Structure 1
């Protein structure tokens, strides 16, 4: 599906899940170099930037957070020429759809004395999509806060799964963003060759936002590691308490069981057995032994 938005001389062509026929139509309209078209109808497992005089193409994968298929990020191919920006994607992307609503009021397009090009629009859109990733990290930060609260709410077992899921999301986010490094470096170098050096400050701002995201996701991963360590410590402490309780119970009941077994032996000359108070004597002895064990455990502070 092809959607066009035009402002004065500048046209943005947004293509969703394109067919070969649609790519040929856009190529002719936007004067896209033939070397840019070899992968436009399918997703590619890499981020990269290419350029020719008057045109530049960059492919970026944007991480997914809330959906279950977090290991399949949103891929967007950006192609900028003098009067066109072409974006090619394969599924709906909220930040890109939001940009459509703001297309005509983007400050860049109304700069006095500056004639906007597809390169300007490319930089503006990429910056907008990077800023949208901040809200995704806000969502992950909320998950970390919930995990932190759950650690001390007697929910250590549940937190093991929550921590694993959060770690999976942060790892996928970091991997998707990590691949942008070379593409942005190439964009900084090649946009000057494709258009002019005056575009490079805009790319530097994009790179600053990218580094901000990298630092933020790394901090969240560090926080998650600390939460995992704290949860493991709480689980270990609880398991140790359970084992200690079971050991005390076993240590207390074993002598009593042995005591009862001895007096249950079928022997002719069994002491106490046959006495008028034999049952109460044996029961009292077992009670004294039990109280003695518990008193000893209390004294040693094992209970």
Structure 2
């Protein structure tokens, strides 16, 4: 990208202006994704896992006695999402929120299901934050998840189902929902840990005087990351609160204790983010102070050089006036005497500045 080129801003809401409420308009930028359907169906004794060729294959799991986790990757396939929504009797506004990737994290409670929107975040190999919207629907014995693209933070949950590790296979769909939300929140911890390391590295560079030009950009990027994470996790407190107080019977009382633990994690992450935000502002102040101090050092050196040359210029000016009656001009050693005087003045001023610790 050229140095002076401006980054093009996304304008997702333009796609929705003038549309009928409930219209399925995909607002994301990942149009080239392939549709990927995956299902886990399990109970305490056994589990089944596999990819599906069509959304209709998932319909048979809706009324089963086992717990079913159906995952769809590819929010640009709005027809398939609408088909799933019609079969599971999801409200049209719910389907609209699923494909609207600019949706704020939230929770909507209905009689037969609970709908949740979250922001899943993780660092890629280049330590760039990947943010993706995840929609979750909790029913009596199923959980539906909708993701924009391949790649997520749920591998640990899948592994626990496969290996029967922990209590997930012996619990219901509400515990599966908890496990998925907990996996998302756990990755917030990984993000803020990496962010903390970045802040400490920048602090070290600033204290050691390594104020490269890109440090200002790095600080600005950290500010954006903090705001992005804060917008994603701040609404989670309300979401978890409403899950704890839910009264439609989809979440068992014993599962609410686990959600309370997630709530504590959310509070901890939020408080850490607030601390990091203050530290980043301090980093910017420290950077500006360092730049100012360097400028002062430059001005100090230039001032000292100018001060040294003032008396030398005065002496040279006196003897450069070429008056006829200046006796020193006719003296045989006058030239050498002037040089000696100028050198003595120069050395004397340097010694004086050194004693004053101006050098």
TM class, shorter-length = 0.7 to 0.9
How many correspondences in the alignment?
297
Q: Which has the higher helix share?
A: 1
Where does 1:145-184 land on structure 2 (aligned, <5 Å)?
Answer: 145-158=200-213, 159-184=215-240
| Aligned counterpart, 1:246 | 302
Task: Quote the Cα distance in structure 1 between the aligned partners of 2:74 and 2:165.
Answer: 26
For residue 214 of structure 1, report the CA deviation from its aligned partner: 1.0
Conserved? CA contact 2:121–2:131, under 8 Å: yes
Deviation for aligned residue 1:174: 2.1
Q: Distance in 2 between matches of 1:258 and 1:91?
A: 76
The one of 114, 118, 135 equivalent to 2:190 is 135
With normalisation by structure 1, the TM-score equals 0.85
In the aligned structure 2, how far is the partner of 1:230 from the partner of 1:26?
A: 54
Counting only pairs closer than 5 Å after superposition, residues 1-303 of structure 1 correspond to structure 2 as 1=35, 2-8=37-43, 9-18=66-75, 19-63=77-121, 65=123, 73-104=131-162, 105=164, 107-111=166-170, 115-117=171-173, 119-158=174-213, 159-189=215-245, 191-193=246-248, 195-196=250-251, 198=253, 199-303=255-359
Q: Higher relative CO (CA 8 A, sep ≥ 6), structure 1 or 2?
A: 1
Quick check: 1:62–1:177 contact (8 Å CA) kept in 2?
Answer: no
CA distance in 1, matches of 2:319, 2:233: 74
Preserved CA contact (<8 Å) 1:3 1:15: yes
Greater displacement, 122-131 / 200-209 = 200-209
CA distance in structure 2 between the partners assigned to 1:220 and 1:22 by the alignment? 42
RMSD: 2.7
Give CA-to-partner distance per residue, 1:181-211, whole Å, 9 cap, x none: 333333333x333525614323222211111
Give the C-alpha shift of residue 301 in structure 1: 2.6
CA contact (8 A) 1:20 1:41 kept: yes
Is there any run of 5+ residues in structure 2 with no aligned partner, and where? Answer: 1-34, 44-65
**TM-score w.r.t. structure 2 length?**
0.73
Partner secondary structure for residue 220 of structure 2:
helix
